[in-house]
Amino acid sequence: MGAETNTEKKIPNLAKFALGGTAGMMATCVVQPLDLIKNRMQIGEYKTSGAAVKGVIAKEGPLALYKGLSAGLLRQATYTTTRLGIYTYLIERFASQPGQNQSFAVKAAFGMLAGAAGAFVGTPAEVALIRMTSDGRLPPAERRNYKNVFNALTRITTEEGVTTLWRGAVPTIGRAVVVNAAQLASYSQAKEMLMTTGYFKENIMLHFCASMISGLITTMASMPVDIVKTRIQNMRTIDGKPEFSGVLDVVGKLMKNEGVFALWKGFLPYYTRLGPHTVLTFICLEELNRLYKKYL
């Protein structure tokens, strides 16, 4: 990411997509419990991350922290594979010469396009993930009890219709546009700025610092959209009527009932999840790229 080199160009586009998805899946294996805690807080079950961790373990057991892992992995295999693959392709495709650095505005635009495409492809897995990580808060009689992500996708299709797999697609794409414009562009830009200080060179420390900067910026920008998305994807139909009529209805009810700052509810677990996930994804991606170029 960031400044591309001639050796970088030797990695085929198909391999770039595969390496991006693999990096995202590796990161998800580490941060899945944080994703579950974030989702539980955003749907209003717990007020603090500490209470969420204690409550989930007490009620459902420690393994419940990894509930929905299969959906999280499928989401990365679809969403991250698409967004990172498209972003790296666009950065290279529209560079006038090898190694040229694009402007921040161009990087942000490429991030938006990549994020929108990735979000559309990854929404079904996202819907399954939200439901699986939220299932434990429901009374036993109302739980969906999906066995795994494929069981979830099959049941959602047969019980609620195939279009339900793309429920919340608009806010999901909106969130992805914001996330990727912030995350991908800020990571590339942070790497370039850190390199100019003279204290950094192309290594894991550079990748770590650039990732942490990117994670913080992305968290602040994307949380409101993420909360709206989570509420819509987790909503139930009551007496034949959906809980929310749309994005504006969610925002209005959220601000009226819980206050403006409810749009950033779960900031700590969100950043605690997104920060390490950003760090691990980019570090894994950089290392996988290095290993690919070295051995393949």
Please report where in the chains the tokens 């990549």 appear, as a residue: 114
Tens digit of pLDDT at every position of the chain (296 positions): 554 444 445 688 889 899 999 999 999 999 899 888 888 887 878 888 889 999 999 999 999 999 999 999 999 999 999 999 999 889 888 876 666 678 889 999 999 999 999 999 999 999 999 899 888 888 888 899 999 999 999 999 999 999 999 998 988 898 899 889 999 999 999 999 999 998 999 889 999 999 989 988 988 888 888 888 888 877 877 777 888 888 889 899 889 988 888 888 878 877 877 888 888 999 999 999 999 988 88
Domains of the chain: 8-295 (1.50.40.10)
pLDDT by residue (tens digit) across 8-42?
Answer: 456 888 898 999 999 999 999 998 998 888 888 87
What pTM value is reported for the model? 0.75
